[in-house]
Amino acid sequence: MKTTYSVWRLIGRKALKPAAALLALAVGVGTAAIAVAQITPITPGAGPADFKPLFAKQQDLADGKRLAETTCSGCHGQNGISTTEGVPHIAGQRSVYLYAEMKAYQSGMRRQTIMGNVVKYLNDAALADVAAYYATLDPPPPDTSAASLKPDPVEAGKAAAKACGGCHGETGVSKIAGIPSLVGLYPKYLVSAMQAYKSGRRKHNVMKAMVANVSDEAFRNIALFYALQKPERAQTPSPGDQSAGKAAAAACAGCHGDTGVSGSPVNPSLAGQDAQYLAVALADYKNGNRTDDTMKGMVSGLDDTARKNLAAFFASQQPAAPKVRKPLTAAEWSQRCDRCHGLKGNSVDPHIPALASQRPEYIVKALQEYRSRTRHNNEMAAMADALSASDIDNLAAYYSRQKARPALYIVVPAAQPGK
Question: pLDDT tens digits for 167-185?
Answer: 999 999 999 999 999 999 9
Domain ranges across the chain: 50-138, 153-316
Band (416; pLDDT cuts 50, 70, 90): low
Q: What is the pLDDT of residue 412?
A: 66
Mean pLDDT of 263-272: 97
CATH 1.10.760.10 fits 50-138, yes or no: yes
**Per-residue confidence (pLDDT) for residue 150, from 0 to 100:** 82
pLDDT of residue 149: 79
Q: Confidence band (pLDDT; 50, 70, 90) for 408?
A: confident
At 51 the pLDDT is 84
pLDDT bracket for residue 41 (50, 70, 90)? very low
Asked if the model's pLDDT at residue 19 lies above 50, the reply is: no
How does pLDDT run across 363-385, given as a tens digit for each residue? Answer: 999 999 999 999 999 999 999 99
Write down the pLDDT at residue 47: 47
Q: In the predicted model, what is the mean pLDDT of the chain? A: 87
Q: Is the pLDDT of residue 94 over 80?
A: yes
Same topology between domain 50-138 and domain 153-316: yes
At residue 411 the predicted structure's pLDDT band, cuts being 50, 70 and 90, is low
Q: What is the pLDDT of residue 407?
A: 84
Q: What percent of the chain has a predicted confidence (pLDDT) above 90? A: 75
pLDDT per position as a tens digit, 105-151 = 999 888 888 898 999 999 999 999 999 999 999 999 999 886 777 88
Range with the poorest average pLDDT among 18-32, 39-53, 231-245: 18-32
Over residues 282-306, mean pLDDT: 92
Pairing of strands 5-7, 40-42: antiparallel
CATH 1.10.760.10 is held by the domain 153-316: yes
